[in-house]
């Protein structure tokens, strides 16, 4: 278990008993008291080594999204309110430095974080208990509208995460390890789960005139092996945003747009 400082600042604590009322009034000097105690549970964290491995896989498969940049994103797995109290720290030995997160709880690898730091045990640690956070690789090509994703970006996220960054929680099957050794794991539909920005009711692939609305099996971890995949990383608070992609179908080009039909969108008019 990690030990992290729990600091309680107590102001205006009397340094000595209050003087008798008869004596001239004098304010006791303010004191700052620090109490350090072990945290009751382990914090949700990833090693710097994992994140650097994700970057190496990102570099290796960069052709899937040549103009994209790499970031990491934190999601609340169990309680959406956790996002409001989420903080991230770079931890090395006894040093602890806060890492800024953007409005989507994303951060990038700092240039000064090196493999040597990773070898010395550096980690990225949240202030939330282990299991509270889903860590995802976040890869975005420029020019993609906010409400869409580019398929090549998502394929690259899978390559950088699965068995490289290894950010998804849970067990890894021996079969998936064999596939990964051949760089074939991200050619399987259930290799990676993604989370949309909002609760979704449908996902559609669009490439020119070609269009495919994914069967419900690809949404919400609903059926088949993709439902079993939920056993490996079951982020209950994110279930209504969860989707898989037909990674086995390589006929879709990397520039394919992934469109989301939100639960809050109105019912479309029936086709004439």
Partner 1 sequence: MIARRPVMLAVVVAGLCASGCSTVGNGRMAQLDAVQAAALLVPGRTTQDEVRQALGQGTVIRFRSGRETWHYLYRKGIAPGWDDVPYIGLITSRLDRPTKELVILFDGAGVLRRWSMQEFRTAPSKGA
Cβ closer to partner 1: 69 or 223?
A: 223
Looking at the DSSP bridge assignments, the partners of residue 43 are: 129
Closest CA to 211 of 159, 151, 148, 259: 259
Among 239, 255, 257, 259, binds partner 1 (CB under 8 A): 239
Least CB distance to partner 1 at residue 25 (A): 56
Question: Does 225 help bind partner 1 (rule: CB under 8 A)?
Answer: yes
Rounded to 10 deg, the angle between the 151-160 and 48-60 helix axes is 130
Question: Does 81 help bind partner 1 (rule: CB under 8 A)?
Answer: no
Question: Does 159 help bind partner 1 (rule: CB under 8 A)?
Answer: no
Among 59, 98, 183, 249, binds partner 1 (CB under 8 A): 249
Which parts of 184-213 interact with partner 1 (CB under 8 A)? 185, 188-191, 199, 201-202, 213
Q: Token pair of 238, please?
A: 């994110």
DSSP one-letter code for 175: H
From CA 157, how far away is CA 141, in angstroms rounded? 12
From CA 210, how far away is CA 195, in angstroms rounded? 24
Residue 70 CB partners (closer than 8 Å, separation 6+): 54, 55, 58, 108, 109, 137, 138, 139, 160
**Using CB under 8 A, which of the segments 38-46, 48-56, 93-101, 170-178 binds partner 1?**
170-178
Cβ closer to partner 1: 65 or 76?
A: 76
Q: Which residues bind partner 1 (CB under 8 A)?
A: 173, 175-176, 179, 185, 188-191, 199, 201-202, 213, 215-217, 220, 222-226, 228-229, 236-237, 239-240, 246, 248-249, 261, 263, 265-267, 270-271
């Amino acid at each position: 278990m990690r030990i992290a400082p729990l600091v309680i600042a107590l102001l205006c604590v009397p340094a000595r008993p209050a003087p008798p009322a008869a004596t001239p009034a004098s304010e006791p000097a303010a004191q700052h008291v620090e109490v350090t105690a072990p945290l009751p549970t382990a914090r949700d964290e990833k090693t710097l080594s994992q994140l650097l491995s994700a970057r190496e896989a990102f570099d290796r498969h960069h052709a899937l999204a040549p103009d994209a940049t790499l970031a990491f994103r934190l999601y609340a797995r169990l309680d959406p309110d956790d996002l409001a109290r989420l903080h991230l720290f770079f931890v090395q030995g006894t040093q602890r430095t806060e890492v800024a997160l953007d409005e989507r709880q994303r951060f990038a690898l700092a240039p000064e974080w090196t493999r040597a730091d990773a070898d010395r045990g550096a980690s990225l640690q949240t202030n939330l208990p282990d299991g509270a956070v889903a860590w995802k690789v976040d890869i975005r090509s420029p020019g993609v509208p906010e409400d869409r994703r580019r398929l090549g970006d998502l394929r690259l996220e899978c390559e950088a995460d699965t068995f490289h960054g290894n950010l998804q929680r849970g067990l890894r099957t021996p079969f998936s390890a064999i596939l990964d050794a051949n760089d074939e794991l991200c050619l399987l539909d259930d290799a990676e789960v993604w989370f949309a920005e909002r609760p979704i009711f449908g996902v559609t692939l669009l490439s020119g005139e070609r269009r495919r609305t994914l069967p419900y099996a690809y949404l919400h971890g609903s059926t088949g092996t993709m439902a079993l995949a939920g056993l490996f990383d079951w982020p209950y608070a994110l279930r209504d945003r969860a989707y898989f992609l037909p990674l086995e179908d390589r006929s879709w080009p990397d520039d394919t747009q992934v469109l989301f039909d939100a639960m809050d969108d109105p019912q479309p008019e029936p086709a004439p």
